[in-house]
Amino acid sequence: MKSSSILGLYQRYSLPIERGEGCYLYLKDGSHVLDFMSGIAANSLGHCHPALVEALNRQSKLLWHTSNLLEIPGMADYANLLTSHSFADKVFFCNSGTEAVEASLKIMRRYQQAVGKPKRTRVISFTNAFHGRTFVAASAGGLAKCWDNLGSPIDMFDRVEWGNSTAVEQAITQETAGILLEPIQGDGGIVLPPEGFLTDLRKIADRYGLILLFDEVQTGMGRTGKLFAHEHWGITPDIMASAKGLGGGFAIGACLVTERVAQTITPGMHGSTYGGNPLAMAVGKTVLEHIIANGFLEHVNQMSRLFLEGLEVLQYQHPHIIREVRGKGLLIGLQLAGDSNAFFRHLAKHGLLSAPAANHVLRFLPPLIIEEDHVKKAIAILDNACAGYIPSSKQKDSNDAVLRKRALARWENEGGSTASERGISPSKHSPAFATKKAIAC
């Protein structure tokens, strides 16, 4: 038999998928798995959401593609909706996150040239970052996997320590055009910014005339409980790259800019053959209409609280596996004691999909439409999967009591939890009901 003709760029987990619906993937044997990977944060409304299917079917009977040499039906309406609910004044549409990052970097450089600073061509980026896999985007990132066996990255980035605003200011030279970062690092392991870090970067950019560019490919479109993650810190970028959840599983990317930046753009400096095609515009607008609807983001935050509470219980119950729970909204990471890829496969066998990240972190990126039953099922599957599991790269910690005390201290510092009362875990196992004897055991 001939081997697969697919180029071997991925280590795919073998799962005989037949179809998807809502929060589940259904397999050829009739079974199903709970999908808390969501195509790596892309399927924001779950699989085959009826409104998205209807929008796509309707547009597919009218017009698929024209190119950007013509006005594209639906583009202006979608762009107006995006700008009316964000910091931005103008939008460029493309097809993916890495394309959005590339466009954003070109626009950053173009802005500096237009304001009389043509030597400003370098960009400050950060350790542990991920911005895509094209040559420039991979060069900006701080993860070794993007450059293994490829030689040296493109020399236009000055990478500094994540979270260190002093290091950022010290790295600025007469050639610095701007600062590129994820508000919350995704592939790097769901790493939140230190207190005041993003505010400091906004001030630094303003002080030195730099462009502040946010990569919200993974964090945007309601994923963190706000439409875009930077809203949590009350600041705005000059340019922002978006994708993934933007299309609810359909390939869309976007570069959003302020009017000040947009005024420096000239026709022909960038473009895309398929970017902003009628199919993408129809689906993207429908996704956004659902996310900005009354009550949608409130529901995301409710499910986030419930899920995080349940995960805190599991951290207490299985401290030799789960070392930390962190995240915002439904962008959640578990810091594991062992290899996240191994636990991803182990968890998938139990019926729950997740997404491995760097530094032994496992991401949970469920559809934003999950309900309490989905959360409870995910917690139950996780609990069952943890039972008897020994981390592959590290032996079980012999002092689980210390780890349980740490988990309990964090729990109490954050005001306890109502997870057990809502059916997430038996109350006798909850840290809120733990006895001193149990902690000391």
pTM confidence score: 0.89
Q: Which two tokens stand for residue 232?
A: 């949590």
Task: Please give the full DSSP string across 189-200, using - where no structure is assigned.
Answer: TSBPPPTTHHHH
pLDDT score, position 171 = 98
Sign of CA dihedral 130, 134, 138, 140: negative
SS3 of 335, please? strand
Question: Which tokens in the block code for residue 368?
Answer: 């934003």
What is the predicted pLDDT for the residue at 413?
56
pLDDT score of 207:
98
Residue of 197, 130, 140, 190 lying closest to 163 (CA atoms): 197
Q: What is the DSSP secondary-structure string of 63-94? A: -----TTSPPTTHHHHHHHHHHTSS-SEEEEE
Residue 209, classed as helix, strand or coil, is coil
Query: Which residue ranges of the chain lie beneath pLDDT 50?
Result: 394-399, 411, 417-441
Helices (H) and strands (E) in the chain, counts: 14, 15
Residue-level pLDDT at 419: 44
Instruction: Read off the tokens for 79.
Output: 């762009």
Residue 61: both structure tokens together: 């009977």
User: Would you state the pLDDT for residue 143?
Assistant: 83
| Distance of alpha carbon 5 from alpha carbon 435, whole angstroms | 58
Report, in angstroms and rounded to the nearest whole number, the Rg of the chain calculated over CA atoms.
Answer: 22
CA distance 250 to 275: 12
pLDDT of residue 433: 30
Helix H or strand E segment including 400: helix 400-413
What confidence tens digit (pLDDT) does each residue in 132-158 have? Answer: 999 999 999 988 777 777 888 889 999
Query: Residue 390: what pLDDT?
Result: 84
- Tokens encoding 4: 């697969």
Give me 400's structure tokens. 């689980």
Buried (b) or exposed (e) across 38-66, using 16+ Cβ within 10 A?
bbbbbbbbbbebeebeebbeebeeeeeee
Q: Is 79 in contact with 91 (CB distance < 8 Å)?
A: yes
Q: Domains plus CATH for the chain?
A: 17-41+296-440 (3.90.1150.10), 50-291 (3.40.640.10)
